[in-house]
Amino acid sequence: MIDKIKELIAEADAFKAETKEEVEAFRIQYLGKKGLLNQYFAEFKNVANEQKKEFGQAVNALKKAAEEKVNALKEELESKEEVKGVYGDLSRPGEPVNLGARHPISIVKNQIIDIFSNIGFNVSEGPEIEDDWHNFTALNLPEYHPARDMQDTFFIQTNPDVLLRTHTSSVQVRYMEKNQPPIRTISPGRVYRNEAISARSHCFFHQIEGLYIDKEVSFADLKQTLQYFTTQLFGKSKIRLRPSYFPFTEPSAEIDVYWGLETESDYRITKGTGWLEIGGCGMVDPNVLENCNIDSKEYSGFAFGVGIDRIAMLLHQINDIRLLSENDVRFLEQFKSAL
């Protein structure tokens, strides 16, 4: 009988289980009310006296082996469950990571920044909520100047001194106030105008303006810079500067790029002329330099501004400006492969 018990101890030691049910069955078999151990304990009284000691020790050893096994298996299974709880099924196939996409406005903005960084321009930024001085007055647009009506302004509440900037030229004023020439900076940012919303125009959009101030800067430098820019961005080097008016530049011009008339869409976007307007430019008015504490007898400079939204629409064949601010994922997803 003692040999049988020793066998059982060896079996208990070797027992393995995968599930809680198996452990419970093992426990009942050994330690349950009608289990092996109780049977042996009942047997005790029938054992011959001289064997009682050895028998008792063997049964106790079996009890100990069975209890230890049950406890060890329970612990093992519980810790496995914990791991499962945290990580789920570790053998399941991985979930694909959904990559985001840059917004087309950011893509084009970064492209333009890169183009100008290559020729020594830095990037400057300013607040979207501006005061009258930086958005208008310093830019040669004193109060009651009729050109203020060119840009329908959103004012903040009833305070006419606080407004949403109508162009990023305000950043240039801030930059000139803090830095002396030579200045080469571009200022990208969102601007606001109280315009009716349609497929072609929105009440907010994005501009990027450039400012170059140094000794003996000429209109030819402006044209060269713009030509470099359009060649890099569109691969088109033919531009034309059409006389225009801005209060802060003199002389002023609209920038047209020769887009060509090769495809049907070329006809549509250039209205059959082949020319496409992309922004405004001019030589910084000496009054503006003086307003920003720059000596206009020593320094001259040029400035230009282009609309990022229009350029993004052009480069990515987007036919409605509203798509740029609706955040429709089906639209935004299409720019995954872009920069």
The contact set with ligand PHE (CB under 6 A) reads 167, 169, 209, 246, 249, 252, 280-282, 303-305
CA angle 117, 123, 125 (to 5 degrees): 165
CA angle 5, 7, 10 (to 5 degrees): 115
Q: From the CB of 334, what's the least distance to ligand PHE, in Å? A: 29
The residue among 159, 155, 151 whose CA lies nearest residue 205 is 151
Cα dihedral angle (280, 281, 286, 292), rounded to 10 degrees? 70
Our CB check for ligand PHE shows the closer of 40 and 124 to be: 124
Q: From the CB of 230, what's the least distance to ligand PHE, in Å? A: 16
The terminus-to-terminus CA distance of the chain in angstroms comes to 81
CA distance 58 to 44: 11
Amino acid at residue number 94 = G
By the 8 A CB rule, do 160 and 132 touch? yes
Amino acid at residue number 169 = S
Amino acid at residue number 170 = S
Our CB check for ligand PHE shows the closer of 116 and 246 to be: 246
Our CB check for ligand PHE shows the closer of 252 and 270 to be: 252
Q: From the CB of 134, what's the least distance to ligand PHE, in Å? A: 12
CA distance 145 to 18: 86
Our CB check for ligand PHE shows the closer of 30 and 212 to be: 212
Our CB check for ligand PHE shows the closer of 209 and 309 to be: 209
CA angle 188, 191, 194 (to 5 degrees): 165
The residue among 281, 261, 109 whose CA lies nearest residue 188 is 109
Which residue's beta carbon is nearest to the bound ligand PHE? Answer: 305
CA angle 275, 277, 282 (to 5 degrees): 125
Q: From the CB of 90, what's the least distance to ligand PHE, in Å? A: 58
Catalogue the E-assigned strands of 70-181. Answer: 122-123, 129-131, 162-164
Our CB check for ligand PHE shows the closer of 58 and 303 to be: 303
User: Is residue 298 annotated as involved in ligand binding?
Assistant: no
By the 8 A CB rule, do 10 and 66 touch? no
Our CB check for ligand PHE shows the closer of 37 and 208 to be: 208
Q: From the CB of 103, what's the least distance to ligand PHE, in Å? A: 21
Q: From the CB of 190, what's the least distance to ligand PHE, in Å? A: 12
Q: From the CB of 282, what's the least distance to ligand PHE, in Å? A: 5
Give the residue ranges of the annotated binding site for Mg(2+): 250
